[in-house]
Structure 1
Amino acid sequence: MAPRVLVSDQLSKTAVQIFKDRGVEVDYLPDLGKDKDQLLAVIDQYDGLAIRSATKVTEKVIEAASKLKVVGRAGIGVDNVDIPAASRRGIIVMNTPFGNSITTAEHAIAMMFAVARDLPAADLSTKAGKWEKNRFLGVEITGKVLGIVGCGNIGSIVAARATGLKMKVVAFDPFLSAERAEQLGIEKVELPELFRRADFITLHTPLTDKTRGIIDAAAIAQMKDGVRIINCARGGLVNEADLYAALKSGKVAGAGIDVFETEPAKESPLFSLDNVVCTPHLGASTEEAQENVALQVAEQMSDYLVNGAVSNALNMPSITAEEAPILTPFVKLAEILGAFVGQVTEDPIKEIEILFDGATAAMNTRALTSAAIAGLLKPLVQTVNMVSAPLMAKERGIIVSEVRRDKSGVFDGYIKLTVKTEKMTRSVAGTCFADRKPRFIQIKDINLEAEVGRHMLYITNRDVPGMIGEIGMTCGRNKVNIANFHLGRDAKGGDAIAILYLDEAVGEAALADIRNIEGVGQAKLLSFEV
């Protein structure tokens, strides 16, 4: 059955055609997102939801969306999507971070020119027949210091444009490397230094708990007298009351504001000031950008729903269409390793360490880690998947770490999962051979090789003569057919493991008989999705 997508906001008709061309059924209802009750009534019919900013994907909508697998936001900001709620339900949230980058960067540069030369006020004055040439004394931007807060995709484009305009650019961004700053021809600084040195400040950072109100009275007090501030990123980054006071006092000479704390912004004290240029969230509003983000979100959602490829997801590692065929068997392997540990470990798990050895270390390990956690938690939470697993682990206080290393054994690449509880440490390792089927290669540091089946029996025992026969006869008496029998031990007469691939699940009576065999420590029926 073809996946079905709802487009609930205004989106390009070309994007709708992309869904159809990719084999996705699509309902184009561009006004539905404004009607929350109607959205709630129909959302359970869809695998995907394509939106812009009008549709509010609340926790209530997510709870009603029983089939929903992906939400695609045509644009960067996802303030209108409850991402934690989506993650708990295993719903991928995608955005399109690059489709409107140039447009938003150009708007910031345009706002900077407008503020520097008082263009809107001069326009109104001239059209009113006043010809107030001496009133509008602006400033040049050549040679001025531009401070960029947030130097990611959009910020770096602004930096390139600003250096072309012969400005000196300084940037604050915790994730900006020294090498990248050098490549852009800018100087990386800490935020207080940026505030102290900049003649113009432009914001290009997401709105988070850490960045909310990043421009407030305390920040403004650190700035030069006569600084000019541009915000084309997110309302809430600037404390509007504090900015108003600074503009009134002259501490801030001018501001260009495209985004507001509350939108649509029908009224604001800032509107009363001549030294403020305001626009109605136009950063991404060009014909090219609107078309680009619409096409991009349609392509991304279709790739996921049809091929399983994940790109620009905010709550799941990306998996490209090219790497998906290579990664898929190892995703299944990681999930099975997690499922093994989840089924045999009875005490609460405190820590998880995932070792990627050899070829697996070069793969998309974030996706593999998510799969392993999902497998581990599935015995506790049946609805968990790769999207929700990391969040669920975090909520349970489980510490997750990854280790990568070069090839260290006979296998080209393998994954080893180690978990710790208050009482014990347990590990299991596996790999995929050329047939792409997952196999166990080590359990509790005991080497073995076992193909994974739907029904398996895991037994720990002492290495004593006759144990294999006792297990086999006990299974036979209980009408349990063994498809494969795999063994391993740490030393002669020491600890041993038997893992049996069965044709059907073992009943409780058979399990009790096996556990009563002298020398058997643990006997667990395991179930895997293969």
Structure 2
Amino acid sequence: MTRVLISDKMDPRAAEVFRERGVEVDQITGLSPEELKKIINDYDGLAIRSATKVTKDIIAEAKNLKVIGRAGIGVDNIDIPAASSAGIVVMNTPFGNSITTAEQAIALMFALARQIPEANASTQASKWEKNRFMGVEVSGKTLGLIGAGNIGSIVADRAVGLKMKVIAYDPFLTPERALELGIEKADLETLLHKADFITLHVPLTDQTRNILSRENLAKTKKGVRIINCARGGLIDEEALKDALESGHVAGAALDVFLKEPAKENPLFGVPNFIATPHLGASTTEAQVNVAIQVAEQMADYLLTGGVSNALNMPSLSAEEAPRVRPYMALSEQLGRLLGQLEGDKIKSVSIEVEGAAAHLDQKPITSAVLSGLMGVYSQSVNMVNAPFLARERGLDVREIRHDREGAYHTLIRVTSRDDKGQEKSVAGTLFGSEGTRLVEIFGIKIEANLSGDMLYIVNDDAPGFIGRLGTLLGKAGVNIGTFHLGRRNTGGEAVLLLSVDSPVTAGKMAKVAELSGVREVKSLHFL
């Protein structure tokens, strides 16, 4: 039975969803790394929040693990490259706490504008310092968004409703999307110069680390107020401390820190600074939402092959999966065929789709081709790690989509190229709802089912060859299941694909190679 481990505290609805879907689930929290390593091999899925650290060492012990689900956005606690190499899907729930985190940013903006935490502390200390706390309105001010994705766009929507002018720095923000949000796209330098408030909504990457560096903080408008509910490490905390103390930055509110839990920090105690303990996702609604979503996503993948919000493979909804699965099976077969025939000679590969296949998401098809292709080198290849293995081998991959419909209602063609520029291609189609069929190999028309053990033979098209081959295989005790023949032209090059009941030994292959007219013979195997 499919088993999932929930290793962090999570809303009970997660376990309920797994059980409702027929997945066995254990919830064991507070495990040490050594304790987790001892039991992880018993599970197909691992559901976590931020406490569990899924390291390379833990992944090495997880021989049966197929999916890691993070209830939340951040995946800093998962070694994604190690998971990808092991063929494990890593998914998160980027939408479950988007509203909650956006509202936290807006709340901190108001708290900064009106000095609410300091005013509260002063009043409850029996002071009445009405003249001390002179705030500013947010209406009419310019809000600078660094990042206009899921959460940033929600912040933008709320800020526009507050009559703020919103400018955004985001390389992925299109002019059409900016117009739809009612905001202005700007470069970072312009944003730093114009913004009265700056709020960050980007992941922590090599490109975004210290995006508000000492140098960039110096470029900001004097009196700017800064909010960060995204990730620690986006702001140089020492530089922000100096900017607050000098008065260049009028106020800052951080929900996230470089080191968490933040028991000590250079910003603590600095005037006009607000700190909260990573509360961005801490609402009842968000906790329930991310728990339900991670359980549904993981169950979909484990039970139907549906992939949602994956960070290391193409998404494929549970509804789409049954429709796309036959195309993926065909693609895997074509990749495996080409890999077995061309092997290390392949330096680049292109995947072309036409007809019905052209209306599908091509990413799963490409991953399936690479899974078959890379399966020649390793038995542990799947759609998750195949693209990474292909990159490691320096394989150049191209995707081509044709609107045309040719002789077949759908066609997938995989073409390899060697270092001399020579191309070899194989093509296949679907018959009925699920029947896969090879229809062309290296320019020769042939119809064949690719399954089990097969022999690939290139020979001269001449009378008597098939009889001699059949006699030889019969005497060798090789039983032929199916027989598929194609030729380039009369009397020229011909191709035979034979399915056999068991693998053909090297000795028997050598005898086939000695037959008059045989140019090439190879043993093939398909899953």
What range describes the TM-score normalised by the shorter chain of this pair?
over 0.9
Q: Which amino acid aligns with 1:497?
A: V
Superposed displacement of residue 135, structure 1: 1.7
Q: Are 1:117 and 1:136, in contact at CA under 8 Å, matched by a contact in 2?
A: yes
Per the alignment, residue 361 of structure 1 pairs with 358
State the 4+ residue runs in structure 1 displaced beyond 4 angstroms: none
Q: CA deviation at 1:431?
A: 1.4
Structure 1 distance, partners of 2:133, 2:317, is: 53
Cα deviation, residue 348, structure 1: 4.2
**Corresponding residue number in structure 2 for 1:275:** 272
Alignment of 1:20-169 (within 5 A): 20-32=19-31, 35-169=32-166
2: distance between equivalents of 1:511 and 1:248? 81
The reply to whether residue 333 of structure 1 matches residue 330 of structure 2 is yes
Candidates 514, 517, 526, aligned match of 1:516: 514
SS in 2 for 1:26: strand
1:441 is displaced (CA, Å) by 0.8
* Equivalent pair of 1:234/1:260 in contact (CA under 8 Å): yes
Query: Structure 1 stretch 154-163 or stretch 219-228: which is displaced more?
Result: 219-228
Q: For structure 1, which segment, 136-145 or 484-493, has the greater mean C-alpha deviation from structure 2 after superposition?
A: 484-493
CA RMSD of aligned residues (A): 1.4
CA distance in 2, matches of 1:84, 1:348: 27
Instruction: Tell me if the contact between 1:462 and 1:495 (Cα under 8 Å) persists in the aligned partners.
Output: yes
- Residue by residue over 1:100-154, the C-alpha shift from the partner in whole angstroms, topping out at 9 and shown as x without a partner, is 0000000000011111111111111111122222221211111111111111111
Question: Distance in 2 between the 1:421 and 1:240 partners?
Answer: 52
Q: Distance in 1 between matches of 2:254 and 2:33?
A: 29
| 1:407–1:413 contact (8 Å) kept in structure 2 | no
How many angstroms does 1:192 deviate by? Answer: 1.6
| Counterpart in the other structure of 2:491 | 493
Contact 1:5–1:50, Cα closer than 8 Å, also in 2: yes
Structure 2 stretches of 5 or more lacking a match?
none
Counterpart selection for 2:227 from 217, 226, 230: 230
**2:309 equivalent in structure 1:** 312
The 1-side partners of 2:343 and 2:90 are apart by 33
> What is aligned with 1:377?
374
> Given that residues 474 and 510 in structure 1 are in contact (C-alpha distance below 8 angstroms), is that contact kept between their aligned partners in structure 2?
no
Structure 2: distance between partners of 1:142 and 1:98: 28
Distance in 2 (CA, whole Å) between partners of 1:435 and 1:457 is 27
Indicate the SS of the match to 1:442. Answer: strand
- 2:435 — aligned with what? 437
Give the whole-Å Cα distance in 2 for the aligned partners of 1:430 and 1:196: 57
> Does structure 2 retain, via aligned residues, the 8 Å contact 1:101–1:153?
yes
Which residues in structure 2 correspond to 1:416-431 (within 5 Å)?
A: 416-423=413-420, 424-431=422-429
| Higher mean C-alpha deviation, range 134-143 or range 70-79 | 134-143
- Structure 2 counterpart of 1:506, from 504, 507, 511: 504
User: Which of the residues 448, 451, 454 maps onto 1:450?
Assistant: 448
Separation in 2, partners of 1:248, 1:461: 83
Q: What one-letter code is carried by the residue in structure 1 that aligns with 2:149?
A: G
- Alpha-carbon deviation of 1:243? 1.3
| CA offsets 1:442-479 (integer angstroms, 9 cap, x no match) | 11122211112211111122333333333333322322
Residue 315 of structure 1 aligns to a residue whose secondary structure is coil
- Cross-structure match for 1:196: 193
> Counterpart amino acid of 1:12?
D
Q: CA deviation at 1:435?
A: 4.8
Structure 1 counterpart of 2:263, which letter?
Answer: K
Partner Cα distance (1:325, 1:20) in 2: 23
Give aligned pairs, total: 526
Tell me the equivalent position of 1:389: 386
Partner of 1:263: 260
Q: Gaps (5+ residues) in structure 1?
A: none
- Match in the other structure for 2:241: 244
Residue pair 1:8, 1:51 contacting (<8 A) in 2 also: yes
Asked whether the 8 Å contact 1:115–1:275 carries over to 2, the reply is yes
| Deviation of 1:59 (Å) | 0.5
**8 Å CA contact 2:244, 2:271 repeated in 1:** no
Equivalent position amino acid for 2:476 in 1: N
Within 1, Cα distance between the matches of 2:108 and 2:313? 35
SS at match of 2:316: coil
Distance in 1 (CA, whole Å) between partners of 2:406 and 2:160 is 51
Q: For the residues of structure 2 that align with 1:92 and 1:500, how far apart are their CA atoms?
A: 36
For 1:350 and 1:244, locate their aligned partners in 2 and report how far apart those are by CA, in whole Å.
52
Q: Distance in 2 between matches of 1:269 and 1:477?
A: 84
1:343 aligns with 2:355: no
Distance 1:495 1:145 in 2: 73
Secondary structure of 1:320's counterpart equals coil
One-letter code of the match for 1:20?
Answer: R
Give me the TM-score of the superposition, normalised by structure 1. 0.97
Contact 2:245 2:271 in 1 (8 A): no
Q: Could you tell me which amino acid in structure 1 is paired with residue 28 of structure 2?
A: L
For 1:27, the aligned partner's letter is: D
User: What is the SS of the residue equivalent to 1:486?
Assistant: strand
- Determine if contact 1:453/1:502 at 8 Å carries over to the other structure: no
Structure 2 residue identity aligned to 1:374:
S
TM-score (norm 2): 0.97
Cα distance in 1 between the residues matched to 2:167 and 2:443: 53
